[in-house]
Amino acid sequence: MSLRGFSTASARREFALLRTRPWDLAMISWVPLLAVFLIWWIFSAGLPERLPIGVLDQDHSSLSRQVVRFLDATPGLRVAQRYSDEAEMARALTSGDVDAAVQLPRELSRDVKQGRVGQIVLLHNAQLGTHSSLIQRDVRTAVGTVSGGVELTVRSKRGESMKAARVSMEPIKASMVALFNTSTDYEQFLGAALIPALLHILAMTAGAWAVGRELRDRSIGEWLGASPRWHEALAALVGKLALAFASLSVVALAAMLWITAGRGWHPAGSLGWTLFALLVFLALSIALGAFVAALTRSLRTALSATGFITAPAFAFGGVGFPLVAMPLLAQAWAKLLPYTHYIRVQMEQLQMGAPVAYSVATPLWMVVGTGVLMAACAGALVKAAKAPESWGGR
């Protein structure tokens, strides 16, 4: 039989197996699609809005009421509760009814009128890092706006012009220019990064399961024959993994096209090169899972290795936490993970708009890595096929 015949026969055999095992088929078809949809749905709002906060107004002045109005008018905040005393506010924060609380102390208005600094207290749960930072930013903006208005009014009453008052209030001004993801859209930032991380897990699992299942079920002889040659094993391996690769690739392409063009996001870089890198990344993930299963001859060990490699990939990818701020050992581990290198290409192209030349090397090295893993996996399968006593392990 020709190599093409080995590959085609293996693909047909895999398809027949998947038809009789609906849950195996689900793991490379509708389960990835559903998981990707859930991730998109979670971040589809783009920007967190109307985070609930509480207010304890102990001043009950026109100034404190103005502060509360500005807080509630800020798109990122919603004044959900008002408290009569500090004990009630503490209970709400402890129970999680609100994400933060603003305390407007007594004599706030009097202190401001007498030229003293009025203190407004923000109590926030720093355990919720994203909530906390967004609330701090919005509260600071709202209070700063009210404070600036008060200062301008005072200076105007002293006879100072509005223009001169603004200059004297802020003689040196920092101009901050956001270069990438200027709208701080979490759908583009986190959603687009989490989808490849999820598909990475599913792809490596699919490769490990496809090969490990043959060893577990003692059917590797039926698949490869009694004494397969290396090139025959490689052709059969390509045919077996082709279905998982094709199915997951369709899901990946659909997800990435939807979250970019489908959502009105026009990346500054090359979307085409990013999609190519994503497909190569999936192929590498599947090949890695198959190689671990063939090397260990144990489905259980292969799935454990899959979790060890893919589960922490996002955390070490430099998206949620800066890679340069990690300890040296953590940085070394991160650089061994395929996701770290793929996500750098995606961020360079979709968010930074870097020249394609900056992102050429990584996908090409992944192509080489996929070929090496497939070749090594075929060699391991040849050895496994000649050792029936090692079959049947879990």
CA 192 to chain centroid? 6
Between CA 276 and CA 271 the distance in angstroms is: 9
DSSP for 275-326 reads HHHHHHHHHHHHHHHHHHHHHHT-HHHHHHHHHHHHTTTTTTTTSSS-GGGS
Q: What are phi and psi of 283, to 5 degrees?
A: -60, -40
Residues in a beta bridge with 56: 103
Instruction: State residue 79's pLDDT score.
Output: 92
pLDDT band for 353, please (50, 70, 90 cuts): confident
Domain parsing of the chain, residue ranges: 3-44+185-390, 51-169
Instruction: State residue 118's pLDDT score.
Output: 80
pLDDT band for 179, please (50, 70, 90 cuts): low
Q: What is the pLDDT of residues 1-46, one digit of tens each?
A: 556 666 888 889 888 898 999 998 999 999 999 999 999 898 887 7
Question: Residue 125 above 90 pLDDT?
Answer: no
pLDDT band for 292, please (50, 70, 90 cuts): very high
Instruction: State residue 264's pLDDT score.
Output: 83
Instruction: State residue 154's pLDDT score.
Output: 61
Between CA 343 and CA 319 the distance in angstroms is: 8
Instruction: State residue 294's pLDDT score.
Output: 93
- The answer to whether the beta carbons of residues 339 and 196 sit under 8 Å apart is yes
Looking at the chain, the whole-number percentage of residues with pLDDT higher than 90 is: 46
Instruction: State residue 222's pLDDT score.
Output: 86
Instruction: State residue 334's pLDDT score.
Output: 92
Q: pLDDT: is 173 or 387 the higher one?
A: 387
**And the tokens for 160?**
């100072």
Across 37-41, 159-163, 182-186, 229-233, which has the greatest mean pLDDT?
37-41
pLDDT band for 304, please (50, 70, 90 cuts): very high
Contacts of 370 (CB under 8 A, 6+ apart): 280, 283, 284, 287
Question: Residue 129 above 70 pLDDT?
Answer: yes
Instruction: State residue 274's pLDDT score.
Output: 95
CA 372 to chain centroid? 28
Instruction: State residue 7's pLDDT score.
Output: 80
Instruction: State residue 182's pLDDT score.
Output: 59
Dihedral sign of CA atoms 259, 261, 264, 265 in order: positive
Three-point CA angle 250, 252, 256, nearest 5°: 120
Q: pLDDT: is 172 or 93 the higher one?
A: 93
- The answer to whether the beta carbons of residues 298 and 394 sit under 8 Å apart is yes
Q: Which helix (H) or strand (E) holds 10?
A: helix 3-20
Query: Domain 51-169 sits in which CATH superfamily?
Result: abc type-2 transporter like domain (3.40.1710.10)
**And the tokens for 390?**
């090692």
DSSP for 26-72 reads HTTTHHHHHHHHHHHHHHTT-S---EEEEEEESS-SHHHHHHHHHHH
Question: Residue 178 above 70 pLDDT?
Answer: no
Q: Which helix (H) or strand (E) holds 143?
A: helix 129-157
End-to-end CA distance of the chain: 32
Between CA 380 and CA 386 the distance in angstroms is: 10
User: Smallest Cα–Cα separation from 294: which of 234, 377, 391?
Assistant: 377
Instruction: State residue 385's pLDDT score.
Output: 86
Q: What is the pLDDT of residues 61-78, one digit of tens each?
A: 888 899 899 999 888 889
Q: pLDDT: is 225 or 8 the higher one?
A: 8
Mean residue pLDDT of the chain comes to 87
pLDDT band for 169, please (50, 70, 90 cuts): low
Q: What is the pLDDT of residues 134-157, one digit of tens each?
A: 898 888 888 888 887 776 666 666
Give me the mean pLDDT over the 189-204 stretch.
92
- The answer to whether the beta carbons of residues 159 and 98 sit under 8 Å apart is no
Q: What are phi and psi of 79, to 5 degrees?
A: -75, 100
Q: Which helix (H) or strand (E) holds 77?
A: strand 77-82
Between CA 332 and CA 348 the distance in angstroms is: 21
User: Smallest Cα–Cα separation from 362: which of 340, 380, 385, 345?
Assistant: 345
DSSP for 213-265 reads HHHHTT-HHHHH-SS--HHHHHHHHHHHHHHHHHHHHHHHHHHHHHHTGGGT-
